[in-house]
Amino acid sequence: MSAPFRSPVPESNPRDRALFRVNPMSYIVIAIFVLAILWPVTAYPLALGWLVLLPLAFGWWVARTWTRLDEDGVQLSSWRTRRSVQWDEVKGVMFPKRGFARLVTTSDASLPMGGVSFHDLPRLSSASRGRIRDPYTAPGPNSTS
């Protein structure tokens, strides 16, 4: 007897609402890049063998870049480092024109929030339990203005 079919959970509604990752479609880009370099690398392995390192490095970056929000604060992970910022050190979030959102601390340091973009603002607000406010949502009936 087989298990019942369950549809995949879309990225816009993940199970772990407090975890933000780089779009997993990036792995398809890596696979296409591997196919694109396959012929040149096999034809000239001594001269172009180093090209194999590029998709490996990009895959490492995709796998290691994430942001998680919890009761203690914000955990940031990049391809090189992992850092934790307590909530009392968080000043706000900045959204540059390109790239991921940036966490601004009380010491005016700007840290990249891997996997968080502008369209994640409502999810970011709910995962932070209102500590990071979404200015585009309507205030609830219990809020005072």
What is the chain's pLDDT, residue by residue, as a tens digit (145 residues)? 555 655 444 444 455 668 999 999 999 999 999 999 999 999 999 999 999 999 999 999 999 999 999 989 999 999 899 999 999 999 999 999 988 999 999 999 999 999 999 989 988 998 998 898 888 776 656 655 5
Beta strand ranges found along 5-86 (DSSP E):
19-21, 66-69, 73-77, 82-86
Helices then strands, counting H and E runs in the chain, come out as 4, 7
Q: Where are the domains of the chain?
A: 19-127
The predicted model scores a pTM of 0.76
Give the span between the Cα atoms of 30 and 32, in whole angstroms. Answer: 5
Question: Tell me, what's the pLDDT at 116?
Answer: 93
Question: Tell me, what's the pLDDT at 9?
Answer: 46
Give the span between the Cα atoms of 125 and 135, in whole angstroms. Answer: 10
Give the span between the Cα atoms of 64 and 96, in whole angstroms. Answer: 21
Question: Tell me, what's the pLDDT at 2?
Answer: 57
